[in-house]
């Protein structure tokens, strides 16, 4: 027996989903910004929050480029643990929903902070990897990029043909955002009229600047998150509180009726 509060909550969610779907349907260009929360239901831990990776590993000790240079073996022990989790992960209904939205013409691009490649594995075609991709390793000495599956991680740190230490081709703290991804993300954010922000704590710049860029140009912000973020009570127009794997399929189901 559902309590009255539960029933009201569900009715409220249905109303918000309908409002979000109408906004998306009327939009000229919808862009999604995703964070680790969209991959939690694929078994990849988020960084912040109770089960977050940074609860177990201090990011300044394990995810800063200076830490990798100073203690490569120690950092690679964490990286290898994360690589094994990511490589066993598959897209969840949230990733599949965004791929379907693109297919239906309701989503122009995804700007993702994630390095797990799950958006592409789900079928999304225009994905801007703002923090790089775990699918390649890059040499700290010569800059060579090597596909991840060609590198044996049984001995760490892995080394390049030149003898240099390899790192995942992702952005560590203390490193710049790849300039092409930054420019593309800024352009898409400035030109969209709806931004769908999914599963990000919105605290790490410059990724978290994208929703503000969009808002400044008149875009509406739809946020999907299990918890509130600094965006929720400031620039978010529609807050769909809950797990992305539950909410996005419901949103797409409504959009399917609008094609």
Residue 26's alpha-carbon distances to 78, 107, 194, 243, in angstroms, are: 45, 12, 10, 25
Q: Of 84-143, which residues contact ligand APR (CB under 6 A)?
A: 113, 131
With the CA atoms of 35, 37, 42 and 46 taken in that order, what torsion angle do they form, in degrees rounded to the nearest 10?
90
Task: Find residue 206's DSSP bridge partners.
Answer: none
Q: Report the residue number whose CB is nearest to ligand APR.
A: 37
Least Å distance between CB 41 and ligand APR? 5
Cα–Cα distance, 30 to 5 (Å, whole number): 33
CA separation for the pair 63, 235 (Å, rounded)? 30
Residue 228's nearest CA partner among 258, 254, 195, 203 is 203
**Is 131 a residue of the active site?**
yes
Which listed range, 15-23, 39-47, 78-86, 158-166, lies at the site for ligand APR (CB under 6 A)?
39-47
Query: Binding of ligand APR at residue 35 (CB under 6 A)?
Result: yes
Pick from 82, 195, 244, 255 the residue near ligand APR by CB under 6 A. 244
Annotated catalytic residue, options 95, 117, 131, 135: 131
Residues 60, 181, 220, 6, CA torsion sign: negative
Nearer to ligand APR, 52 or 123 (CB): 52
Asked if 111 contacts 210 with a C-beta cutoff of 8 angstroms, the reply is yes
Using CB under 6 A as the binding rule, whether residue 37 contacts ligand APR is answered as: yes
Of positions 23, 36, 192, 195, contacts ligand APR by CB under 6 A? 36
Q: How far is the CB of 162 from ligand APR (least distance, A)?
A: 27
Please give the residue ranges that form the binding site for ligand APR (CB under 6 A). Answer: 35-37, 40-41, 46-49, 52, 59, 113, 131, 199-201, 204, 224-227, 229, 243-245
Catalytic residues: 131
């Amino acid at each position: 027996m559902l309590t009255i509060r539960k029933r009201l909550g569900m009715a409220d969610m249905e109303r918000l989903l309908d409002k979000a779907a109408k906004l998306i349907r009327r939009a000229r260009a919808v862009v999604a910004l995703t964070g680790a929360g969209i991959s939690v239901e694929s078994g990849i831990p988020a960084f912040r929050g109770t089960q977050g990776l940074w609860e177990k590993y201090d990011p300044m000790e394990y995810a800063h480029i200076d830490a990798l240079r100073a203690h490569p073996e120690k950092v690679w022990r964490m990286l290898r643990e994360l690589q094994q989790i990511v490589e066993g992960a598959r897209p969840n209904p949230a990733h599949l929903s965004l791929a379907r939205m693109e297919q239906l013409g309701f989503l122009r691009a995804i700007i993702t902070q994630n390095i797990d490649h799950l958006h592409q594995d789900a079928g999304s075609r225009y994905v801007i990897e703002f923090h790089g991709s775990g699918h390649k390793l890059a040499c700290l000495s010569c800059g060579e990029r090597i596909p991840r599956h060609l590198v044996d991680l049984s001995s760490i740190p892995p080394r390049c043909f030149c003898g240099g230490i390899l790192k995942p081709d992702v952005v560590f703290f203390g490193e710049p955002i790849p300039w092409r991804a930054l420019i593309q993300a800024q352009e898409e954010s400035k030109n969209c009229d709806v931004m769908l922000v999914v599963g990000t704590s919105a605290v790490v710049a410059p990724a978290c600047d994208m929703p503000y860029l969009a808002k400044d140009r008149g875009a509406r912000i739809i946020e999907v998150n299990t918890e509130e973020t600094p965006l929720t009570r400031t620039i978010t127009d529609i807050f769909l509180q809950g797990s992305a794997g539950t909410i996005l399929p419901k949103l797409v189901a409504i959009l399917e009726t609008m094609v």
